[in-house]
Homo-oligomer: A and B are copies of this chain.
Amino acid sequence: MSEPLSVNSIVATRPTAKEIARRVDASIQAQENAIGAWHWYDPKRLTAEAERLDALPHRGPLHGVPVAIKDVIDTADMPTEYGSALYEGNRPPSDASCVALLRNAGALLVGKTVSTEFAFKAPGKTRHPFDPTRTPGGSSSGSAAAVAAGMVPFAFGTQTSGSTIRPAAFCGIVGYKPSFGLIDRTGIKVLADSLDTIGLFARNVADIATVAALLAGRPTLAAAAPTREPRFAVFRTPSWNLADEDAQKNFEQSLLKLESRGARLQTLEDPADYLALLSAHETIMNWEVPRALAFERLTGSHALHPTTREGISPLPGLTADDYDAACALAADAMQRWASLLENFDALLTLPARGEAPIGLASTGDPIFNRAWTQLRLPCVTVPSGTGRSGLPLGLQLVGAPRTDGRLLAASRMAEAALS
């Protein structure tokens, strides 16, 4: 089988979209039965779309780059069912902002990937691409699996707790949750308004950077070379004991590899507010989710997965005062962490508790993601070898607020050191 497609190789060699569509379709046909990455995919539409792109008078900068789109992100020419039976047959009137921008750049929109219902907890059908008995992670399950399987070189996800970083780590690919507000999220199904962020999946950091630069209107994001002698803060977190032993060991080995390539490491003492932040994130979701999904909860409850129905119900006893206190704590913490991180290229931490867990009933635990999402910080996970079952592990890098370019450059360094 040929090398999987990459964004930058397509940009550099400029094949026809038709040729790319043929390869994408072959890869999907060969693997989809086993993986179930797609919520909606139509090979005829893909071919037609490729032909349309090839016939355009001018080719966009991402001409023919195949893109998978998580089903909670609106598309005007494909169904968008938010992973929910309640939205069966839904066809939005417009593309989400991120979709419109890639479409305009000439990207080849391939189809919709499986999401948990509303990007919340109830899993979809997707299996881990390297072990069908395991979850690929979630909520962006299909996007992570499709990129890991080489079906597409790039996919969109979202992250409200750990829905991009965790599945990317489980699947052995690169995941990127930008700084909150860096990439416009208009047109996604809202889960928690103060947290939802577009997520990006690719097979390498350079591919992520190319697309992120275009989406964010920040050309410098694409330009950064791997950082030489980066300064990293090492933070094992108070949840360290929840990580699997092989993941802990792999983390320590990763640190040694990075040091041997010139990285300067400094261990962070447990900041006092970390556990409070996890609790604040939980409170904020418990308050916002039942409000964002008020229609679904009050009018469409019958059609929802029981896990969703329970998860989006207002938490008895939770008050606006609790929510306000959580927001105030998070706002204070953002300031402290901004100072804490400003002298580092990134903080290093685990992206997940370990390898993808066995079973499809849960997409795994976002315990190593929630604080960073709450702090609105940019996060990247890069592949970092394998665990006890031969499945991928990752290393998470977290940047200071809005230092996405610096973080991507440091991530390129880490990616090279750990590959």
Contact = CB atoms under 8 A, between A and B. Distances in A.
Interface of A: 76, 87, 90, 93-97, 99-101, 103-104, 181, 184-187, 190, 193-194, 216-218, 287-288, 291-300, 314, 319-320, 324, 327, 402
Contacts of A96: 295
A77 to B, nearest CB: 10
Given A193-B184, A320-B216, A94 B295 contact: yes
A295 B218 contact: no
Contacts of A186: 190, 193, 291-294
Contacts of A320: 216-218
A97 B181 contact: no
Integer count of this chain's copies in the complex:
2
A76 B217 contact: no
A295 B76 contact: yes
Contacts of A101: 291, 294, 298
Contacts of A100: 294-295, 297-299
Given A216-B320, A320-B216, A402-B324, A296 B190 contact: no
A291 B218 CA distance: 13
Contacts of A90: 93
Nearest to A191: B186
25 contacts: A87-B93, A90-B93, A94-B296, A97-B294, A99-B295, A100-B295, A100-B297, A100-B298, A100-B299, A101-B291, A101-B294, A103-B298, A103-B299, A104-B298, A181-B194, A184-B193, A184-B288, A184-B291, A185-B193, A186-B292, A186-B293, A186-B294, A217-B287, A217-B314, A218-B320
5 closest Cβ contacts across the A-B interface? A184-B291, A100-B294, A100-B295, A94-B295, A186-B190
Contacts of A181: 193-194, 327
A294 B184 contact: yes
A103 B297 CA distance: 12
Nearest to A405: B320
A101 B374 CA distance: 26
Contacts of A185: 193
Contacts of A99: 295
A210 to B, nearest CB: 16
A216 B185 CA distance: 23
Contacts of A104: 294, 298-299
A332 to B, nearest CB: 12
B190 A295 contact: no
Nearest to A99: B295
Contacts of A193: 181, 184-186
A387 B76 CA distance: 48
Contacts of A184: 193, 288, 291-292, 294
Contacts of A194: 181
Nearest to A297: B100
Contacts of A314: 217
